[in-house]
Chain A
């Protein structure tokens, strides 16, 4: 039997090199930016813009072949330097991020190196959240930032869920990029949920609970689909009722429901990295619930105890049902 693995290992180098390449590129970008600031006093923005364009064109030119060594040595550092200079050159953070978003999409389309495309994809998926926050100068206690974060969570959970059923997107030939998409969307969702929880009015506005209801419904739909595949009859009815209560319990605090749905979706494809991110986001959201000023602490206590008791009841029911089946 032919073994094609050595060829693939040679072509696509391991991710620790990516870390070094990224960090090294950042170091060089900082040095170059510092050099420009030191040497061109009045026209430094113009110089930085021109250099930024040149670096990105250079990066695209050097990554016209799918060669990881070239990508690590030249492509990535050039991209990082170009984007850092571009960000520094433009006065407004929001405009800088929007321009970089467009440039990153163009670079992704023109670049042929898979490694660089994955890094660009990460950046493209990361920016939308930052763009929204930049309009309020990254103030965490802002309704707009909170709403924007939750909308991004909704869109990205849909993207994450969409990457699970590979048969539906087979025709797009995006297999190589799916792990990056999943990881990035999970990370962005985790960060967005934590950021959103800083806003004091999360439990005051019906909008957040309405979206949490959508997430809880999606969790229940997945649970029902999985349960109906493996059990039937009275057991299915009891299990569905328990799943419904479980999903409803996650809407106690709006940020908990998407984290719970993310955990279910991650486990579906046994992606433990994303599962860890969503679990950490869940814990962070419960912690932030303590600081919410719109509900009395005693009411929060009752809600959490009730939800906790419900989950423990579900645990014991599962134990009972499986024990009966074994007997």
Chain B
């Protein structure tokens, strides 16, 4: 629901007066802020309370409290009628409580589990709720959680040295492909927001660039081809969707790779050549962006290419 008082067109310039919130916008703000801050502070207070009394509480009571809270929030989500946003916040809180339960379980029974195992277990337990909620901040939380559970085990996944960066690149690329393609294949799913796609894009691209930088200074392997495929895919996506911000990131990555190449070729003695060529490359990059911006502006008049 758009509550902005938009009396000016969407492409208002910086010099126009800012849009001010009206009564309905303030009402919505008051509801969201009071609910979010209230729930957050109450939860924080409860956590602090248990932290203080931790040693005095029996392990069954500890787990019972965590499980009880989880059950209460679950029942609220299932039974109480509420807006989608409120329901999503409640599901988020439920997913956090799952982690709290596993932490308490791990402490109570001294299972000797390491952090990645905890995060992996946590992520697997909340996967279905994350999918059902279709709430992208929760998806972002899930992606990070799963990464903390999977990436530390990459030494079991990599065939040989040099693949560590590629594993992270493949992980980011897989999630990017998932969020990009799922709304197209499953119409019931909402479109992923640009902040999530852009973040995953940048992560994928820069892990690929770091892999290529590794090639410059050390050895090469099959992972080079995977990195090149990822870079090609990033370029294709940027040119297809005409995103100037991503185009800028592409060029900066290219500058970084070029710099690594120059350092390897020229060493300390050729620093003057390095500076001159970097300045030239930088100027070219700026000119390219300006040219692309002009071209895409003509294709999409009044649109936002960022």
Contacts and interface: CB of A to CB of B under 8 A. Distances in A.
Contact of B14 (A175, A268, A297, A304): A175
Contacts of A2: none
B247 A16 contact: yes
B27 A24 contact: no
Main secondary structure of the interface of A (DSSP, over half): helix
Interface residues of B, number: 66
A230 B37 CA distance: 24
B38 interface: yes
Contacts of B145: none
A73 B281 CA distance: 11
Contacts of B63: none
A283 B40 contact: yes
Contacts of A307: 41, 45
B60 interface: no
A15 B31 contact: no
A20 B43 CA distance: 42
Interface stretch (B152-160, B170-178, B181-189, B272-280): B272-280
Contacts of B38: 308-315
Contacts of A300: 45, 48
Nearest to B246: A16
A42 B17 CA distance: 55
Given A286-B40, A303-B45, A312-B42, A27 B34 contact: no
B73 to A, nearest CB: 14
Interface string A291-305: 000001110111111
20 contacts: A17-B286, A28-B278, A72-B286, A179-B14, A230-B23, A267-B26, A267-B29, A270-B18, A270-B21, A296-B52, A298-B53, A304-B48, A305-B45, A307-B41, A308-B40, A308-B44, A310-B38, A312-B34, A312-B42, A318-B30
Interface of B: 4, 11, 13-21, 23, 25-27, 29-31, 33-35, 37-46, 48-49, 51-53, 244-245, 247-249, 251-252, 255, 259, 268, 271-272, 274-275, 278-279, 282-283, 285-287, 289-290, 293-294, 297, 301-302, 305-306
Interface of A: 5-6, 8-10, 13-17, 19-21, 23-24, 27-28, 31-32, 34-35, 38, 69, 72-73, 77, 164, 166, 175-176, 178-179, 226, 229-230, 246, 263, 267-271, 282-283, 286, 290, 296-298, 300-315, 318-319, 322
